[in-house]
Structure 1
Amino acid sequence: MKALTIRQPWAGSIAHQSKRVENRSWKLPVKHEGARILIHAGAQLDRDAQVYGPHLGVYGAVVAVATVTGCHWSEDGTCCGPWGFERAYHWTLTDVTALPEPIPASGRLGIWTPAPALIAAVEQQLAVATAI
């Protein structure tokens, strides 16, 4: 399983709101299409964002798991509702599952490989969340 670091408030909006597109300046590598990824809330805030909520106070932690189902370029951003940016690649996300508790972790640029202990901690929370 891979991970993607996303600045707040966007990571929280994926985990706890209806954001199902991640805007990127680079195209999703084909080998990751259809993969489950960890959504990691980065250590920095996107100061240009205008999204608010109590779930946005988490930084430097895995907050959710999602499936990346595709990627397309958008010139005007209108194809993906209010979350799509113009002149960006839109990575589409499905099967988003917020973790009951954020798991602290250091992130990285790009798609990265989490430590086995982090993956195990995420899988443990997912097992508890689906058992409820």
Structure 2
Amino acid sequence: MKALTIKQPWAGAIAHQTKRVENRSWKLPAKHEGTRILIHAGAERDRYAVVYGEHFDVYSAVVAIATITGCHYSDDGRCCGPWGDEVAYHWTLTDVVALPEPVPAKGRLGIWTPDAELVAAVEAQFAKATS
């Protein structure tokens, strides 16, 4: 299983709201399309984020699991509703399951491989979320 670190409030919006696209400056490697991925809330907040409603104060922890179903480039961002950025690759997400309790972890840039202990802790939370 792989993981992706995303700054808050975006990781929380994926886990607990309706954000189903992750904006990136780089194209999703084809080998990751269709795979389950851990959504990791990074240690820092996106200082440019303007969010209405609920704020998410969980940092440095896995907060959800999702499936990456595709990737496309957009010049104007309109294809993915309010979540799509202009001039960005949009990674589409489905089957998002928020973990009942965030699992603390140090993240990394890019797509990274969590250790077995972290995967086991996330799987235990996932089992609680889906039972």
Q: Tell me the equivalent position of 1:41.
A: 41
Contact 2:21 2:83 in 1 (8 A): yes
RMSD, matched Cα: 0.9
- Three-state SS of the structure 1 residue aligned to 2:106 is coil
Paired letter, 1:94: T
Aligned-partner Cα distance in 1 for 2:45–2:53? 13
* Partner in structure 1 of residue 108 of structure 2: 108
Instruction: Report the CA distance between 1:54 and its aligned residue.
Output: 4.4
Q: Distance in 2 between matches of 1:41 and 1:53?
A: 18
Gaps of at least 5 residues in structure 1 are none
Aligned to 2:126: 126
- Give the TM-score of the pair, scaled to structure 2: 0.97
Contact kept in structure 2, 1:9 and 1:46, CA below 8 Å: yes
Task: Say which SS state the counterpart of residue 65 (structure 1) adopts.
Answer: strand
Q: Distance in 1 between matches of 2:52 and 2:64?
A: 18
Partner of 1:31: 31
User: Secondary structure of 1:48's partner?
Assistant: coil
Aligned-partner residue type, residue 97 of structure 2: T
Question: What corresponds to 2:67 in structure 1?
Answer: 67
* Structure 1 moving runs of 4+ over 6 Å: none
TM-score under structure 1 length normalisation: 0.97
Give the conservation status (yes or no) of the 8 Å contact 2:98–2:129.
Answer: no
**Is the 1:40–1:61 contact (alpha carbons within 8 Å) kept by the matching residues of 2?**
yes
Q: How many residues align?
A: 131
**d(CA) in 1 for partners of 2:5 and 2:85?**
18
For structure 2, the 5+ residue unaligned runs are none
- Identity rate, percent: 76
